[in-house]
């Protein structure tokens, strides 16, 4: 029996990257996964990339779970409300896992730009997409979990500390996800619902591979451009970590905390899908990178 057989999950923001990998690995563990996002076949989001939620759902099913694509713009409250009404109706009120990986800020931040020179509208839109969406989604998911006194909410962020992340608006969005998990954990504790945050290390997402002009098969060629990429990881390292957390009967002991993919790999004993065991925490500490401890 797969460890998540019969479990119902929503992965919000699962079109690509970490969200897609998390959805697939939950499926591989046997879960039914509602895969949400804005990009559908024939109608991509303003990120204008080829990945779609239908593809993600198909990958979930191929991995051994049940993938259900639902087009949702998580900035639109009514669409989020309808999503969870559908889950409640289709799954007899059951929701076991929510993963908040909604982002959409790829084209909004300007690295190494003082906040007063940065586009204010883009900076505020980053909060709208990266923070407000998570709040809306959790608002409608939490009652399903609280009513049954069980469930797991996972916030996906960047980094495990509260340190500055190169850009004020980006820092605010990513640190907010960590505190959302911590604050939700406190208010959900009486209902026996767990909330925590997770982060990947240096991610080999579809966009990062494209940025370096490589594919997964030859990703090491990117190290010539960026030496630190040698310690990068596929999105599936974090995906396996989330699946392990969801299957852990003692996961409530982790409520309110934040975990790196490398920490989860150490604790639960898995390696990346390419057979490597990257450890961004150790690497970042050695090279003096912030917010990794």
Residue 170 bears catalytic tag: yes
Most distant CA pair in the chain, distance: 55
Per the structure block, which two tokens stand in for 177?
A: 């996800």
The radius of gyration of the chain from alpha carbons, rounded to an integer in Å, stands at 18
The Cβ of residue 121 has, within 10 Å, a number of other Cβ atoms equal to 9
Strand ranges across the sheet with 32-37: 66-71, 32-37, 8-12, 97-100, 152-156, 194-199, 258-260
* Cα–Cα distance for residue pair 147/93, rounded to 1 Å: 9
Catalytic residue among 140, 170, 236, 283: 170
Per the structure block, which two tokens stand in for 10?
A: 């929503």
The Cβ of residue 50 has, within 10 Å, a number of other Cβ atoms equal to 10
Cα–Cα distance list, 96 to 73, 151, 174 (Å): 22, 5, 24
CA 82, chain centre distance (Å): 21
CB 105 within 8 A of CB 87: no
Q: Point out the residues that are catalytic.
A: 170
């Amino acid at each position: 029996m797969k460890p998540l057989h019969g479990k119902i999950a929503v992965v919000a923001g699962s079109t690509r990257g970490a969200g897609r990998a998390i959805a697939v690995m939950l499926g591989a563990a046997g879960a039914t996964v509602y895969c949400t996002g804005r990009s559908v076949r024939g109608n991509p989001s303003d990120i204008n990339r080829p990945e779609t939620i239908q593809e993600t759902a198909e990958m979930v099913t191929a991995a051994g779970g049940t993938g259900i694509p639902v087009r949702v713009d998580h900035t639109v409250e009514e669409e989020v409300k309808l999503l969870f009404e559908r889950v409640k109706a289709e799954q007899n009120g059951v929701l076991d896992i929510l993963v908040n990986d909604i982002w959409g800020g790829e084209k909004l931040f300007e690295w190494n730009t003082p906040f007063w020179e940065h586009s204010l509208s883009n900076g505020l839109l980053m909060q709208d997409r990266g923070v407000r969406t998570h709040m809306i989604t959790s608002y409608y998911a939490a009652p399903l979990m609280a009513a049954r006194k069980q469930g797991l909410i996972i916030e996906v962020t960047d980094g495990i500390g509260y340190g500055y992340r190169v850009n004020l608006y980006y820092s605010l969005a990513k640190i907010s996800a960590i505190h959302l998990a911590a604050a939700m954990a406190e208010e959900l504790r009486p209902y026996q619902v767990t909330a925590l945050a997770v982060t990947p290390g240096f991610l080999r997402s579809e966009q990062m591979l494209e940025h370096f002009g490589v594919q997964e098969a030859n990703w090491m060629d990117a190290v010539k451009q960026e030496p630190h990429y040698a310690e990068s990881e596929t999105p599936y390292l974090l995906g396996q970590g989330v699946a392990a957390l969801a299957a852990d009967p003692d996961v409530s002991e982790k409520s309110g905390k934040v975990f790196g993919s490398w920490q989860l790999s150490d604790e639960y004993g898995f390696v990346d899908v390419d057979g490597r065991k990257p450890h961004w925490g150790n690497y970042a500490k050695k090279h003096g990178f912030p917010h990794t401890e």
